[in-house]
Structure 1
Amino acid sequence: MPSIMDVKSKDEAADESNDIQDTLEAFDEIAAASEKLSASVNNLLSKDKDCLVADEGLSILTVKNHLLLQYLTNLVFTILSKCSGKSIQNSPSVERLVEIRTVIERIRPLEQKLKYQIDKLVKIALTGAPSADDGTQFRANPTSLMNDSEESDEDEDARPKGMDPTDDSSRNVGGKYVPPRLAAVKYDGEETLASKQKDLLEKAKKRALSSSIVQKMQEEYLDAPVEIAHSSGLKNAISKEERERTEYEETNYTRLPRTKRDKILAKQRAALTSSSFGDELTKFDDFQTLDQELNRFNKKRKKSFKSSGKKKKKMSFKKKKRFHK
């Protein structure tokens, strides 16, 4: 039977042969890609140099193209050094690769901001005309919203004395700038005073109905089941830590030392408890809204009763007059 070492050596030899085969295939692909790249570069160099000028293009794309070209150049030089068996430690090409990579990553947010503009220019370059669904074509033209008479009056006011009104080259030179008067449009985004008062009234009603006194009265007089939940009563104002401290002191007959922080927290807790308890007993601002609503309802009922009584009296008085006649 073959030993374990013989099996391992056969497996390693098979792996090495596979790696060599993959490396040779990669070299063949690199050679084919290099030939295609050389043909493309020669084709570009044979064209007119004026076609390669990008003065009217986006500068960020020009910078990115130059950076990518330098990155590929330094990368090829680094690969050549490794294939030749040379060390790339402290190599200037590696430092340059790191620098270019950092710059390319830093300009990526700027490229993301200009994405819409770049896509628009690419579509125009491919189709030769802007797309029909371009949103910028439907923007408002402020000059079309102006009145002709107002525009002429503004031009005359802004034109210095002695200037020819038909001369377009001398218009608005040395004169006062007059901003265009746009047509007034109603803005419905802001809330009216009535809607604001209505919202404030609704909030006051909710606050009054959610107070602790009203909740206690509802639990006492209504037949609805009582919800067991954490409320803001006086008993729940004492924290769990304070209860544990009190239980420990009462059980062991000892006083635990209190730090400065514990004293400050105790004062704040006492002030909060006393203020909330006093508010629950003496503060009736929350119920003022409900009282106003009740008075308003009673006034409406009284007015309706008075108006109906006046009509009946008038009718009876007319009947008496007719009877006397």
Structure 2
Amino acid sequence: MVQAPDSPCVQSELPQALMLLTEMNLSAQHVASLVDKMIQKVRKGELSTGQGLSFLEMKYNMLLSYLINLTYVVLRKCSGEKIEGDPCIDRLVEIRTILEKIKPIDHKLKYQIHKLVKSAVSGANADDPTSFRANPQHLLGDIDEGSEDSEDSEEDTGKETSGTKYSAVYVPPKLSAVHYTGDETAQDRSKRIQERSKKHALSASIMQDLREEYLDTPIEVSQSSRAQQILSKQQQERERYEEEFMTRLPVSKSEKHQRRRLTTGGAPLADEIVGGLGGNRRKRKQPSGGGGRSKGGKGKGYKRRKRQ
């Protein structure tokens, strides 16, 4: 028997290790007794294993093989033997890889397995809400029937479909990944829409500047801003639609306000250009308009008209 070293760390952990080994021994004996009982029931025909799921059978066989190889590795390490280059390591890696790969399939079949076990233990219930879930096996039947109907229709058409060939192999549609927005609030959604519109406007202005810089076309210089150009383009599209379909499109108050605000955006620039003339004109009008009027004059005139 191998004696434990006299280091303080080993001596402190030795009682706990002995306790764990005792528990493992008791658990192994309990599991062995349960397995023996199950084997006896299977041999007597009390447990039927003929109509089980092949997926579960394969999974349990892989788990059993994994435990056997793992127990063998623990035995060699406890005996002080080397495990480097042992075939059991390769088997453990292979089985672990297979168990990791079948996890998505196990997750998909988990509901059906739970449903079958529940119905077998407690009995089937016709009003059970879980019984109304779709069964993928029925979908496969519909696909097979659809392929048979298509083959029958091809045989009936004869010469009309002789030049075309149809394949019964299912081709999945090409779907692109979409960001999940189910947990998004209304505030986040509005913020995302505003950011997208800002990026679109910025990219449009950048592309316009690049066209003006690198293309040989003449550059149009105008007083209107980018927003006014967009408004003019929308107005042209609106007029084209009205002329094509001979109808008038309604204009909301917000659109009228936005159009009025954008169309009057050039007024400050005009004031800067003719500011001097406008200011002098206003200054001339002020003394001429209020020079002959006074409170007394108004009162006298009023009294004079009253006397007449």
TM-score range, shorter chain: 0.3 to 0.5
Give TM-score scaled by structure 2 length.
Answer: 0.45
Relative contact order, higher structure (CA 8 A, sep 6+): 1
